[in-house]
Structure 1
Amino acid sequence: MGVSSGSGGPGIVVVTLDFPPVNAVPVRGWYDLADTVTAAGHDPDTRVVVLRAAGRGFCAGVDLKEIQREDAIVGANTGCHAAFGAVYDCAVPVVAAVHGFCLGGGIGLVGNADVVLAATDATFGLPEVDRGALGAATHLARLVPQHLMRALYLTASTVTAAQLHHHGSVYQVVEASELDGAALALAGVIAAKDPRVIRAAKAALNGIDPQDVHRSYRYEQGFTYELNLTGAAGAARAAFLEQR
């Protein structure tokens, strides 16, 4: 349980999220994920990272129970920023393999990945406004067009893997039983190339990105802090947890 890494073949590091029952990641988990992805990229033998998850879904976001119980909003926000940034800044390409639900912080991870594969059962969304928080619109905007992003954000609605494939942000949609194999196959194609070129390509792609994802996400988080200070965030979290 937690964040683990292992070999997926020559040059491939597989990083797995495993926080039962729904991969709601605690503060420490976000930092562990950041450290694991960063370490994989720094290893000269690594050519590509595959980011996947065990259990019912890819990621349900932050652990709301921890935040409500321990007032861990600062840790959750800085941890998410570290994890999302680690995926984006990883020295090698990151391939995200998504199954089931990908919500909240899951969007932050996937939106910053280089290539996204998804199972047919995958759904993507930001329930933040229903939880009294804001954030990861920066990353959702990398997956869907601007006005669809706004509609999804304001309504807390979800979209399917097929819809994201239509928009080009999901590279391939496969059956859930085939997802890991498809992700490793794609990673193998990347890993077979000259690692010097691949690392340079990752740096070049980040360098021409039209949006500074680090600054943009931190700007969003400022409003989350404000909502916590007003009490609106705590009330929304309490209502959600009570319904569950």
Structure 2
Amino acid sequence: MSFTLSHACRLGASRLGLVRPLGAAALRPASTAAYEHILVERRGEGERVTLIQLNRPKSLNALCSPLMSELLEVVHQAEQDPAVGAIVLTGNEKAFAAGADIKEMQDKRFADVYRGSFLAFWGGVAQCTKPVVAAVNGYALGGGCELAMMCDVIYAGEKARFGQPEIALGTIPGAGGTQRLTRAVGKSKAMEMCLTGDMIDAQTAERAGLVSKVLPPGELVDAAVKTADKMASHSKLVVQMCKEAVNAAYEMTLQEGLHFEKRLFHTTFATDDRKEGMTAFVEKRKANFTDS
């Protein structure tokens, strides 16, 4: 959610979207479908990284339901595509996403949002089993900050701003802001951000542990793709296991987590990729993973 007042959007009958360049590369649709609110291309060695750009520049990429539906459709496609090893999610230099579309929510009533579990489907990004790297330039506020936190790694441009300003609208974060932010930065900083609605800059976000790296805006997407490509170069099967183990740390006690990790570690010994990886190391050559 966000304080930005942007226009509500609707999916057109034809869903025709203009494909515009991101940096020097032209964006290519990930499937035969044309998208209205996102741009998609394949990047990295062997095009094994799916790059998704939120594309509602007039509304600072406010997150309307049709945009989120398109985003989750492409995430699902990437997850099912054996050639894809990782995903990068970005916006533009002004905004990653300035929040959810307030005009879309303005007239909703309690019965509407409760009965339909409004925003629940947004969590599909966090459920992706492949690594997702967020490249955040500009504003990541409300739902935009929540969407970034659903990703596995956040890289920020030097002018990025993060915040949960819902309190100023008479509501609270509804897509994980009070939960993921607290786990990322601790209770005191999360309380300060959620109860004041104040933004923090990229450098503060890095010190607090919300983002892992701060880069010049023009280098951000390439750096995120490079990291995603490195993740995609490893065994997709083992990467999925490792991601599952790290995520489990948020849900378990230390002893439960250690046991879970050990069992997944043992499980890697049933894979061809574990044997190939160790054999390649001993033979001083590059591993040839087969994702099996």
TM-score, scaled to structure 2: 0.66
Q: CA RMSD in A?
A: 2.2
1:74 to 105, 109, 113: 113
Shift of 1:69: 5.7
Aligned to 2:88: 50
The number of residues matched between the two structures is: 209
Which of 175, 179, 182 is matched with 1:141 structurally? 182
Q: Residues 78-227 of structure 1: matches in 2 within 5 Å? A: 78=117, 80-83=119-122, 85-135=123-173, 136-210=177-251
Q: Which of 54, 58, 76 is the equivalent residue of 1:38?
A: 76
| Greater CA drift, 38-47 or 158-167 | 38-47
Tell whether the 8 Å contact from 1:30 to 1:80 is kept in structure 2 after alignment: no
Give 2:281's aligned residue.
Answer: none
Using the alignment, how far apart are the partners of 2:77 and 2:185 within structure 1?
A: 30
Deviation of the 1:203 alpha carbon? 2.2
Structure 2 counterpart of 1:108, one-letter code? E
Alpha-carbon shift at residue 184 of structure 1 (Å):
1.0
> Structure 1, residues 34-56: CA drift from partner, whole Å, max 9, x if none?
22212212222211110111362
- Poorly superposed stretches of 4+, deviation over 2 Å: 66-75, 77-81, 203-211
1 CA distance for matches of 2:90 and 2:130? 16
- Flag the structure with higher helix content: 1
User: Is the Cα contact below 8 Å between 2:63 and 2:144 reproduced in 1?
Assistant: no
Distance in 1 between the 2:56 and 2:93 partners? 8
Tell me how far apart the structure 2 counterparts of residues 12 and 134 of structure 1 sit (CA, whole Å).
34
Distance in 2 between the 1:44 and 1:93 partners?
Answer: 14
Native 8 Å contact 1:23 1:55 kept in 2: no
Contact 2:64 2:104 survives alignment (8 Å): yes
Kept in 1, the 8 Å contact 2:178–2:194? The answer is yes
Higher relative contact order (CA 8 A, sep 6+): 1
Q: What corresponds to 1:3 in structure 2?
A: 38
2:279 is aligned to: none
TM-score normalized by the length of structure 1 = 0.78
Q: Which residue of 1 aligns with 2:65?
A: 27
Deviation, structure 1 residue 70: 6.9
Higher alpha-carbon Rg: 2
Is the contact between residue 92 and residue 138 of structure 2 (CA under 8 Å) also seen in structure 1?
A: no
Residue type of the partner of 1:187?
A
SS at match of 1:199: helix
The CA deviation at 1:145 is 1.5
Shift in CA distance, 199/79, structure 1 to aligned 2, threshold 3 Å: farther
Whether the 8 Å contact between 1:80 and 1:105 is mirrored in structure 2 is: no
Structure 1 residue 140 displacement after superposition: 1.8
- Indicate conservation of the 8 Å contact 1:30/1:79, yes or no: no
What is the deviation of 1:60? Answer: 1.0
* SS of equivalent to 2:96: coil
For residues 55 and 121 of structure 1, the distance between their equivalents in structure 2, rounded to whole angstroms, comes to 9
From 44, 47, 50, the counterpart of 1:13: 50
Partners of 1:205 and 1:87 in 2: CA distance: 16
**Cα distance in 2 between the residues matched to 1:114 and 1:35:** 18
Question: Greater shift after overlay, 55-64 or 171-180?
Answer: 55-64
Per-residue deviation at 1:78?
4.7
